[in-house]
A and B are shown apart, each in its own frame.
Chain A
């Protein structure tokens, strides 16, 4: 039976000092695997007992246009799944860079795929990393690996989730018939960790 009254009086001082919350926006073209990257990240965090939320943009813009998803990982109960500033922005096209560059919190992280970008990030109060995942995926012979290469780059910059939990997350989020693809995805993640470059870091 569901209780009639729930009461939540905030967290104790001691608990607050240990709270980890990471608010992420992942944005790009529909079909680049933006939503599934978010889903794998969320599943990976569940594997290490964290709270997660995954909030996609939905509607007509999903068909061919831009797609984005807000993912929150936290050691605590997540309040709003919808937010307008982010700790990290993972950006896969120019349109999304223009839209979300200013939404990164000062001192936060912006990771972008430089392929097809003409106006590069300009802010100097955030940490900027570049990962040319689309061209690397072509070299690996799998265009579909783009999102996993980018995920690798993110995990290198912010190692919040352990690689073994990402592999477990992959197993949970992929249907059984695609489990043969897990080693390839793992390889792409590791490659992403190697090729991510620092553009600018805040002192």
Chain B
């Protein structure tokens, strides 16, 4: 049954996983996402649905358990935060190379290295450009509320299975730790039948299934690379998701995802109170990136400001999308600092509106 709860983003992810009919979660604790594992342990999902929850000996072990579970056609997931996600990159590359579905959650903290436990968005490149070695992409979902933290778990699994590709929820410490109202979906039963490619034991009526990312024949490997690329192009065609906020008459556009998008929503209000027509484009999928809508909006705009809690990563995708049609600038705070709504409006004025005084 649908249920209304007040939950932390991390807890919402965990509860949504049980309700999405996940078969297993493998994880290793790290701030600021430890509540995912804690909630799952406390909730005893094996008694509710039969779902397995296991604390692995390391992040690397966890992602390889995910690899194994996914090879058997099961709905499996892991979660971690930035340093832990770096450790998982080898496994992710193998999973992508084996065309397996799974869900990985990155509750991002500031880096590089161990960095800080405070929220950041500095793992954008790693998430959307591949992350591990080889030409591959993850489906990357960027929730901006606790409700979406819950909703994107089911969506992530659905897309991962549709495309036989790993999906990632890219979020951050602020969304992981904050509580909001969340409508939890009706629980889905776990699967009882598995995809035809799954290694579930060979039966006499079919060929054996082989899951591997190894192909020593160059011709066949190139063909496989092209197949993956075709899959990514299809995602770009069909799976782009975004939200527009007050874009209709906007002269300036903020582009932001996750926590930054929430701050920018307030910036839009503040700017409009000051008579500046600002809108917000909030990508909900970071790969595939909402290029088309940006290109369509560009000719009507006087400037775009990409707002990220990083030194400027998504701004490159914004620039590629508009391809010089309009000026694009970046504003970011780092180290766990979250920009204030009015600070963003000042930057927008500084970069686009006041510049005429100097020029």
Contacts and interface: CB of A to CB of B under 8 A. Distances in A.
Interface of A: 1-10, 39, 42-43, 46, 51-56, 58-60, 78-84, 172-173
Contact of A52 (B181, B240, B266): B181
Nearest to B268: A79
Contacts of A80: 262-263, 265-266, 341
Contacts of B263: 79-80, 82
B338 to A, nearest CB: 5
9 contacts: A2-B152, A4-B240, A4-B241, A5-B242, A8-B245, A9-B248, A52-B6, A59-B117, A81-B178
A8 B155 contact: no
Interface residues of B, number: 39
Contacts of A56: 177-178
A46 B181 contact: yes
B241 A58 contact: no
Interface centre among B173, B177, B248 (most CB of A within 10 A): B177
A82 B338 contact: yes
Interface of B: 4, 6, 31-32, 117-118, 151-152, 155, 158, 173-174, 177-181, 239-248, 259, 262-263, 265-266, 268-269, 272, 284, 338, 340-341
Contacts of A60: 117
A10 B273 CA distance: 12
A42 B182 CA distance: 13
A6 to B, nearest CB: 4
A58 B81 CA distance: 15
Given A80-B262, A83-B266, A5 B243 contact: yes
List of 3 A-B pairs having minimum Cβ-Cβ separation, nearest first? A79-B265, A80-B266, A6-B243
A4 B245 CA distance: 14
Q: Is the interface of B mostly helix, strand, loop or mixed?
A: mixed
A7 B244 CA distance: 5
B6 A54 contact: yes
Contacts of A8: 243-246
B161 to A, nearest CB: 14
Contact of A83 (B117, B268, B341): B341
A6 B174 CA distance: 23
A172 B4 CA distance: 11
Given A5-B242, A54-B6, A79 B269 contact: yes
Contacts of A9: 245-246, 248
Contacts of B259: 82
Nearest to B178: A55
